[in-house]
Amino acid sequence: MFLTFKKWTAIYVLCLLGLFAGFAAILWHGSAVNASKNIVLSSGGTVLIVDPGHGGEDGGAVSQDGTPESGINLAIALRMKALAEFLGREMVLTRETDISLHGEDARTLAEKKRQDLQNRAALCAGIENGVLVSIHQNSLPEFPDTSGAQVFYNGEGDSEALAQGLQDALNQSVNLRAKTCRPMGDGVYLLEHAGCPAVLVECGFLSNPEETTRLKDPVYQTRLAFVVLAAAMEHIDSQAG
């Protein structure tokens, strides 16, 4: 299933599948793997930025059992970072703990959310040759049977191609029914102001109890991290070549 990506090479297959099988227990705890220094793969100078959406007082979407998306987003992103470090790939996280990136002068929740998004966007815009992948969870309480991961893109640079690669990978590996990547449209501040190719990955629906159970499972979180990171690296390397 994982071997149907557009241009997989043998080294990706061996490294990523070996890592997934042999180091899953470590990744479940979000730990870095020091062995990353032994494997260095060229990224063509492109820096992957991964944004775990929400954080701090802003929990984002909330499941029926009270689980906020912010913690799930962070868990997936930390697993992506552990995988990237093992492979010697450069990756930046907008946050690594359950925090909001607002300043000390922010008082209301609205002010904190606004400053948080502004600071995330500034971080992304300040990284040369950055490519942003923002991790989120979806929710449609009026349609509790809706499930699956979907990718949205900002239309900057090669973001549509990146989104298509991610969507193909998710359709092949985690989605019960294939979904189509779509342009993000107006109103998503981070993607509008990131200043680089950017995609937003809605990993699943917290309004679906069965999918919520999967999204809270460390094994499934590791699987999502594996798929998203592998597809993103595939795209970055194809552009560099």
pLDDT at residue 173 above 60? yes
CA 95, CA 77: separation in Å to the nearest integer? Answer: 9
Residues of the chain with pLDDT > 70, as a percent, come to 81
Task: Report the sign of the C-alpha dihedral through residues 168, 54, 213, 142, in that order.
Answer: negative
pLDDT for residue 211 is more than 50: yes
Mean pLDDT to the nearest integer, 65-87: 96
Exposed e or buried b per residue across 68-94, where buried means at least 16 C-beta atoms within 10 angstroms of its C-beta:
bbbbbbbbbbbbbbbbbbbbbbebbbb
Q: What is the DSSP letter of 134?
A: E
pLDDT of residue 7: 43
- Residue 75 and residue 50: Cα distance in Å, rounded? 12
Query: Cα(201)–Cα(216) distance, rounded to whole angstroms?
Result: 16
The predicted model gives 155-161 an average pLDDT of: 94
Q: Where are the domains of the chain?
A: 2-240
Rounded Cα distance between 9 and 169, Å, is 15
The continuous run of DSSP H or E covering 205 comes out as strand 198-205
The 10 Å Cβ neighbour count of residue 192 is 17
Asked whether the predicted pLDDT for residue 52 surpasses 70, the reply is: yes
Among the residue ranges 7-11, 87-91, 225-229, the one predicted with the least confidence is 7-11
Greatest CA span in the chain, whole angstroms?
Answer: 52
Average pLDDT over residues 226-239: 93
Question: What's the confidence (pLDDT) of residue 22?
Answer: 46
- The region of weakest confidence among 29-38, 59-68, 143-152, 223-232 is 29-38
Inform me whether the pLDDT recorded for 110 exceeds 50: yes
Higher model confidence: residue 18 or residue 7?
Answer: 18
2-240: CATH homologous superfamily?
Zn-dependent exopeptidases (3.40.630.40)
How high is the pLDDT of residue 35?
28
Of 128 and 29, the structure prediction assigns the larger pLDDT to 128
Residue 156: CB atoms within 10 A of its CB come to 16
Which one is predicted more confidently, 202 or 25?
Answer: 202
27 CA to centre of own chain: 15
Residue 122, C-beta contacts closer than 8 angstroms, at least 6 positions apart: none
